[in-house]
Chain A
Amino acid sequence: MNQAEKEQYLREYALLKNEGKPFFPYAVAKDAIMAMIVMAVIMLLSLMFGAELGPAVNPTTTTYVPRPDWYFFFLFELLRVMRNAPKMTDLATLGVPTLCMVGLFLLPLYDRSPERLITRRPVALAAGIATIVCIAYLTYSGAVVGSPNQLVLPVPAGLTKAQKATFLAGEIIVGESGCEGCHEIGTYGNNGPGPLLTHIGSILRPGGIASTLKNPTAPMPSFAGLAKSSPKKFDELVQFLSMLHYNSSSWTG
């Protein structure tokens, strides 16, 4: 907006204001009604859904589902989606959100046209609608991924009895530990943000798997606590992962 446009706006605004109504009581009345609706909705939600607590924190057992509150779903989903673009994870996690935030922050500095009517601002209209659709879609798909706790894989052929017991124990530990919140194993779990674990046994040696679990790269949480508090469980987990050599054709579901 140049100086003339600014003055023009201020003039027009002064007129509109002059033709308007006093803040009290006209605007205050609407605000008060809205405030009462807001309070009523909050109380109703509280009465209907309460504030449940899950089980107490226990850094050593691993029955958890790493899920944030719903309004962070879109961030987590973004992470998942972006993972498929290779080498993008770092950018996607906070890089893309940071860029979006900077874009939002500076909006009035780069959008300086004097036009305010949205129907005459096609770029802003498109960008606004695209943003809403993206966030709604990501929030929705973040909401429906469900809590991943189940894992039943076909037991690989040729295991000894002890190995088979470890395999079955490992399935449970993985299910309990929420790995499937970030990893896909066969037909179970989410495709990202972590890599596919279906054939992790062919990629990493047990030692490599163990050190990944203890010192993972973010955003994967560290399972060093588990290794300390219950080394047997940790060991079974590592053994189990190193038995995963499936290729996609060996899946029956």
Chain B
Amino acid sequence: MAIIGSRGRPAAPVPPAQSDELTRPEAATEASLTVVNWIDERAQLSQGLRWMMFRKVPKGINWAYTLGSATMFAFLNQAVTGVFLAMYYRPSVTGGAYESIRNINDNVFLGQFVHGMHKWGASVMIVLIFLHMGRVFFFGAYKYPRELSWIIGVVLLILTMAMGFTGYLLPFDQRSYWATIVGVNINGTAPFLGPYISDFLRGGPEFGATTLSRFYAIHMMLIPGLMAALIGLHLYLVMKLGISAPPWIKAQEPDVAIEKVEV
């Protein structure tokens, strides 16, 4: 197995000593190692995993570089709390979208807490995604060779805003209903595609019963699926290209070192 040898890398795990009589914990270790080995023999993941975990990040990485993964955690929080909400939510205008949310808030164990985490998690995610984008912008981290990471990032930003917009309707109270009508109307004034997007969102020219189920499907399947895929791509690029170093950090003794590289 390839070992990524470099200074500062933690030691590889030592295989347990072979003996005829195994104690219980040893047997358990042995068994789990067998399972891991069995999987790895087929999937060959460990090499990639090692590469991912022990790859180097450049000198000078600071706290501002945690904002991307923080955004990802906020997204995961939305996904998990969203699944629990979906277990109780009914996307039906007449069959009680509103009542089902009421029920979540009032009766379901920890319902209001989970609902609140989803609601506030959205705001937190928006804040984090803007901070992350600001970090990337001011560090010039979108420049060669990371242009594609930026472009995918902008799509993620738009999708995140779209999540906020489609989610706002779902509780189906007065405020969300009317704000969404206004929002869809505003969208309809956009050049070229605007009216088509509005018709697509409403499920027709009128704001009606299909609109809610459409928003629900978009909010919990279409956009999250797209986002998960794009976040995967975004992270792949981050790993492949390496995280940029802060622009004020300079390599030591560049002349000597460059010569070495060029040899």
Contact = CB atoms under 8 A, between A and B. Distances in A.
Contact of B70 (A34, A57, A101, A125): A34
A40 B247 CA distance: 32
Given A50-B112, A128-B138, A12 B178 contact: no
B52 A23 contact: yes
Given A46-B120, A118-B247, A18 B185 contact: no
A221 B202 CA distance: 13
A49 interface: yes
A13 B123 contact: no
Nearest to A182: B182
B8, B114, B137, B141 — most chain A CB neighbours (10 Å): B137
B116 A21 contact: no
A201 interface: no
Interface stretch (B11-19, B36-44, B56-64, B224-232): B56-64
Interface size class on chain B is 35 or more
Nearest to B257: A15
Interface in B159-177: 161, 164-165, 168, 171-177
Given A20-B61, A55-B174, A72 B183 contact: yes
B112 A11 contact: no
Given A15-B258, A17-B242, A34-B63, A63 B174 contact: yes
A33, A72, A132 — most chain B CB neighbours (10 Å): A72
Contacts of A38: 70, 73-74, 77, 124, 128
Interface in A34-62: 34-35, 37-39, 41-43, 45-47, 49-51, 53-59
Interface of B is mostly: helix
B56 A42 contact: no
A31 B69 contact: yes
A98 interface: yes
Nearest to B9: A22
A129 to B, nearest CB: 10
A224 to B, nearest CB: 9
Interface in B101-139: 101-102, 105, 112-124, 126, 128, 134, 137-139
Contacts of B183: 68, 72
Interface stretch (B26-34, B147-155, B215-223): B147-155
B190 A220 contact: no
Contacts of A22: 6, 8-10, 53-57
A18 B186 CA distance: 51
Given A31-B69, A51-B116, A94 B245 contact: no
Nearest to A224: B206
A125 B126 CA distance: 22
Contact of B8 (A21, A53, A118): A21
A6 to B, nearest CB: 6
B191 A98 contact: yes
A67 interface: yes
A23 B66 CA distance: 12
6 contacts: A9-B144, A23-B56, A34-B69, A47-B116, A57-B174, A121-B140
Given A17-B56, A50-B115, A95-B191, 10 more contacts: A10-B145, A15-B261, A16-B245, A38-B77, A46-B116, A57-B174, A67-B179, A104-B157, A108-B151, A115-B140
Interface of A: 1, 6, 9-28, 30-31, 33-35, 37-39, 41-43, 45-47, 49-51, 53-59, 63-72, 75, 79, 89-90, 93-95, 98, 101, 104-105, 107-109, 111-118, 121, 124-125, 128, 132, 178, 218-221
